[in-house]
Amino acid sequence: MGRTAMVSDSDTSKWDCPPHTKAKHDMLGRYLDGWFPILSSWNGRVVFLDGFAGRGRYNDGAEGSPLVALRHLLDHRYFPQMRHREFVFYFVEANRDNAESLLKEVEAFKTERAPWPAKVRVHVVNEKFDVTANSILDTLREQKRNLAPTFAFVDPFGYSGLPMDLLAALLSYPRSELFVNFMVGHVQRFITRDGQENAMRSLFGMDVRDVLNGFSEEADRVEHLRAVYGRQLQERVGFDHVQSFAMLNSTGNIGYYLFHGTRHRAGVKLMKDAMWKIDPGGGFTFSDRLAGQDVLFTPEPDLRPLRAEILRHFSGRQGVPVSEIEWHAILYTPYRETHVRPVLRPLEQDGVIAVRRPAGKRQFADGVTINFP
């Protein structure tokens, strides 16, 4: 695994923005384009928490995640309709020099966008993420309040400083979401090393022997660690839907996994849309697995794994609405709903499925149902 694959916003050794980080930030921005208006439409206060915020800007001029988040709010075409809501941004950065640089970038951005909207509040916090998160929890407990709808973007370098127990406490509120970088390359390298037991216990919320339970030397340790971490986000944090996406480098090795956790299927759809619309470039690509087959997020993906999954899952079912098939693809496969109909058309043409169209309905419109063999 090359060093470039491991560069993160909190790594000060290289400050040109690598292509995969740019892709990650593009994906974050696209997701927030949908998340901001949805949450602000029925909440008076919305929180964006950046746990490892970095310096604010790279040497090549690329914006860090804090500026990406601010810009996608203020430049949103519906921002005039959202101005009466309160948006609170917490940018947490433990390194003092990085935090000072970030504060300068935020102040310059606010000056550039003057007059600054009164209800957009920005806090740069020079502290560790876990310390800040615990402080937020203490305040909420003292005030006997719930956390406002929160999107937590947690992008560490390595595997320390983001305890599973803390994520469970902070993000237990119903309208919270998590987008976290799981640095599986570092984890699989050090998980059995002496002296790392406490760090791994903190990361997974369980002892190392339990993390590795069921793993055999013949199996894929990276895949095993991904599955355990995702399961913990579901069972310990309480996310109904957890999606993971591998970032593959030019050699085909996994640099890290991006995990998205949400309790609402609309959030899954938003993240899936953002993933498929990003072109990582620079020799990197997103990937996910379906029944042991890698699915690459490319403009013209291989739809054969989706075809097999649809036929398997809906085998013998009669009168299945197209919308049910599309939601299955969104929630339980790497694919989007837009990939479903290109699979159904040849299945119908080949006589594999029977399509029932009410009078006046064409193609796979609402009301059309499918019988599966």
Please tell me the predicted confidence (pLDDT) of residue 101. Answer: 97
Answer yes or no: do 258 and 330 share one domain: no
Instruction: In whole angstroms, give the CA distance from residue 275 to residue 267.
Output: 12
Going 135 to 137 to 143 to 146, the CA torsion angle's sign is positive
Answer yes or no: do 186 and 313 share one domain: no
Task: Give per-residue pLDDT as tens, 195-205.
Answer: 999 999 999 99
- The phi, psi pair for 177, rounded to 5°, reads -140, 160
Domain boundary among 206, 231, 263: 263
Q: Which is more confident, 175 or 304?
A: 304
Mean pLDDT lowest for which of 98-102, 160-164, 335-339?
160-164
Assess if residue 295 is contained within a domain.
no
Assess if residue 276 is contained within a domain.
no
DSSP track, 284-301: BEEEEEETTEEEE--SS-
DSSP track, 160-194: -S--HHHHHHHT-STTEEEEEEE-HHHHHHHTTST
Residue 3's identity, in one-letter code, is R
Tell me which residue has tokens 């599973």: 164
Instruction: In whole angstroms, give the CA distance from residue 22 to residue 1.
Output: 19
Please tell me the predicted confidence (pLDDT) of residue 11. Answer: 44
Going 51 to 52 to 55 to 56, the CA torsion angle's sign is negative
Assess if residue 314 is contained within a domain.
yes
Instruction: In whole angstroms, give the CA distance from residue 188 to residue 204.
Output: 13
CA distances (Å), origin 353, targets 72, 111, 313: 43, 60, 13
DSSP track, 311-323: HHHTTT--SEEHH
Assess if residue 360 is contained within a domain.
yes
Answer yes or no: do 204 and 341 share one domain: no
Assess if residue 55 is contained within a domain.
yes
Cβ-count burial of 21 within 10 angstroms (0-12 exposed, 13-18 middle, 19+ buried)? buried
Answer yes or no: do 32 and 166 share one domain: yes
- Helix (H) or strand (E) holding 211, with range, is helix 208-211
Instruction: In whole angstroms, give the CA distance from residue 325 to residue 331.
Output: 10
Q: Which is more confident, 104 or 16?
A: 104
DSSP 74: H
Please tell me the predicted confidence (pLDDT) of residue 244. Answer: 93
Give the predicted TM-score (pTM) of the model.
0.90
Please tell me the predicted confidence (pLDDT) of residue 2. Answer: 29
Answer yes or no: do 92 and 32 share one domain: yes
* Prior bond of 115 cis (ω within 30°): yes
Answer yes or no: do 154 and 257 share one domain: yes
Domain boundary among 263, 295, 315: 263
User: For position 182, which CATH number holds?
Assistant: 3.40.50.150
Answer yes or no: do 221 and 314 share one domain: no
For the chain, what is the domain count?
2
Structural domain harbouring 104: 3-263
Please tell me the predicted confidence (pLDDT) of residue 369. Answer: 95
Answer yes or no: do 21 and 113 share one domain: yes
pLDDT bucket at 310, cuts 50 / 70 / 90: very high
Domain boundary among 213, 237, 263: 263
Answer yes or no: do 69 and 161 share one domain: yes
Task: Give per-residue pLDDT as tens, 78-136.
Answer: 999 998 999 999 999 999 999 999 999 999 999 999 999 999 999 999 999 999 999 99
pLDDT bucket at 14, cuts 50 / 70 / 90: low
- Mean pLDDT over 268-280 rounds to 89
SS3 (DSSP) at 94: coil
Answer yes or no: do 182 and 318 share one domain: no
Assess if residue 272 is contained within a domain.
no
Assess if residue 183 is contained within a domain.
yes
- Residue 207 pLDDT > 90: yes
Answer yes or no: do 10 and 113 share one domain: yes
Strand pairing category for 354-356 and 369-371:
antiparallel
User: For position 346, which CATH number holds?
Assistant: 1.10.10.10
Assess if residue 220 is contained within a domain.
yes
Contact between 228 and 242 under an 8 Å Cβ cutoff? The reply is no
pLDDT bucket at 285, cuts 50 / 70 / 90: confident
Query: Which residues touch 341 (CB under 8 Å, ≥6 apart)?
Result: 322, 363, 364
- Mean pLDDT over 294-300 rounds to 88
pLDDT bucket at 10, cuts 50 / 70 / 90: very low
Answer yes or no: do 241 and 149 share one domain: yes
- Mean pLDDT over 343-359 rounds to 94
